[in-house]
């Protein structure tokens, strides 16, 4: 089978590409940075097409003859709200346009969306596919807009919405692991925010299950069924980092609870500082409603029912594995 993967050198995309190659499939990867591709893919190599989501010619070359498109690429931080939509909505539309032109036998588009497209949940009440979308950030609204492009794109589709994803190669949660190195646990608010999580290996198996056994025109949440508070997750990370570095899983020296009012000011200032130097950051004012929401939990029941998939890596196993990978890669 021939797959076209967008975002193939990114965190989730690289793990997905590795898994597809390992099962003997052909993979075409759309890559902006050839040097990064050579660092990421050290075993069997995908076919590389240089370009990005703004390049219709590269997209058509990459998708030509594909059986499946895995649309993983997306923007998670931006200096302006419009940049989220330019990538997560308009880039999705260009992928679909190229697929209709160059891949007449395409079986499916599998899009990696986000729980942010639907919005936060209530404590003790994980959302499912029946929930009405209510994104609370520009990022979430742009991911929802990307889903809408897929639904009306005229190609069979399946959408998978993960919550927070962690695991080897992740650069976003690396910041929290770095705090754990010093025995400090920073949490927003009172630390009671409830979280669904998924290890990247489980997310990859969920994507493959959604392709192989999921419903056409099906939308699924993919998560581990366990729920942790933000403080519990941060403490788990700290203990795992201490274990990776010293051989002993020590409790944190300090749990730093950042009051909501302080968090709002700090996030706005951090976002403004990043924009002033021409950079983007996920820790910006746009993230305030997400980071201070009571819960981000979702139910994987529909994906489990339709495909038989189950997440197999709880945080107690996956977080120490991730910390060990960061240590070995020199990221701690």
> Does residue 44 sit within a domain?
yes
The Cα 128–Cα 121 span in angstroms is: 10
Residue 110 has pLDDT above 70, yes or no: yes
Q: Please, which pLDDT band fits residue 74 given cuts at 50, 70 and 90?
A: very high
Q: What is the pLDDT of residue 208?
A: 97
Number of separate domains in the chain = 1
The average pLDDT across 282-291 equals 72
Q: What is the pLDDT of residue 323?
A: 96
Q: Which residue has the tokens 């050198």?
A: 9
Cα dihedral 219, 222, 227, 229 sign: negative
> Does residue 84 sit within a domain?
yes
> Does residue 253 sit within a domain?
no
Q: What is the pLDDT of residue 282?
A: 66
Nearest to 164 by CA among 6, 319, 332: 319
Residue 271 has pLDDT above 80, yes or no: no
> Does residue 90 sit within a domain?
yes
Report the predicted TM-score, pTM, of the whole model to 2 decimal places: 0.93
Contact 162, 222 (CB under 8 A): yes
> Does residue 111 sit within a domain?
yes
In degrees rounded to 5, what are phi and psi of residue 177?
-60, -35
Domain extent for 6: 2-165+198-224+297-311
Per-residue model confidence as pLDDT tens digits over 34-44: 888 888 888 78
Here the CATH number for the domain that contains residue 40 is 3.40.50.720
Q: What is the pLDDT of residue 281?
A: 65
Residue 261 has pLDDT above 90, yes or no: no
**Cα of 230 vs its chain's centroid, Å:** 18
Per-residue model confidence as pLDDT tens digits over 119-167: 999 999 999 999 999 999 999 999 999 999 999 999 999 999 999 999 9
Residues forming beta bridges with residue 27, ordered by sequence position: 3
The average pLDDT across 233-242 equals 94
Report angle CA 138, 319, 184 to the nearest 5 degrees: 80
> Does residue 243 sit within a domain?
no
| Cα 291 to Cα 126, 164, 318, distances in angstroms | 17, 12, 22
258 CB-near residues (< 8 Å, 6+ apart): 186, 187, 188, 189, 266
Contact 124, 194 (CB under 8 A): yes
> Does residue 91 sit within a domain?
yes
């Amino acid at each position: 089978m021939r797959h076209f993967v967008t975002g193939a050198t990114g965190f989730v995309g690289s793990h997905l590409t590795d898994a597809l190659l390992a099962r003997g499939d052909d993979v075409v990867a759309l890559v902006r940075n050839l040097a990064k591709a050579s660092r990421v893919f050290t075993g069997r190599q995908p076919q590389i097409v240089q370009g990005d989501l703004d390049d219709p010619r590269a997209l058509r070359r990459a998708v030509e003859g594909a059986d499946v498109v895995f649309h993983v690429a997306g923007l998670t931080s931006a200096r302006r709200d419009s940049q989220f939509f330019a990538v997560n909505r308009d880039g999705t539309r260009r992928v679909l346009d190229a697929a209709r032109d160059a891949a007449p036998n395409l079986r499916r588009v599998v899009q990696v969306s986000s729980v942010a497209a639907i919005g936060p949940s209530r404590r003790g009440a994980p959302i499912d596919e029946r929930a009405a979308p209510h994104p609370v950030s520009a990022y979430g609204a742009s991911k929802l807009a990307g889903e809408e492009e897929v639904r009306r794109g005229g190609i069979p589709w399946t959408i998978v919405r993960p919550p927070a994803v962690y695991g080897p190669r992740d650069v976003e949660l690396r910041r929290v692991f770095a705090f754990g190195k010093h025995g400090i646990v920073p949490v927003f608010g009172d630390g009671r925010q409830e979280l669904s999580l998924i290890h990247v290996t489980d997310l990859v198996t969920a994507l493959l299950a959604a392709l192989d056994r999921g419903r056409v025109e099906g939308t699924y949440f993919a998560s581990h069924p366990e729920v942790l508070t933000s403080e519990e997750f941060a403490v788990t990370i700290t203990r795992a980092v201490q274990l990776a570095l010293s051989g002993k899983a020590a409790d944190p020296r300090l749990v730093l609870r950042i009051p909501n009012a302080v968090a709002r000011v700090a996030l706005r200032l951090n976002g403004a500082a990043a924009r002033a130097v021409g950079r983007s950051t996920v820790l910006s004012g746009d993230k305030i409603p997400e980071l201070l929401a009571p819960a981000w939990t979702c139910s994987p029941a529909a994906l489990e029912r339709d495909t038989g998939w189950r997440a197999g890596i709880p945080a107690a196993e996956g977080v120490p594995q991730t910390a060990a990978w960061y240590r070995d890669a020199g990221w701690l």
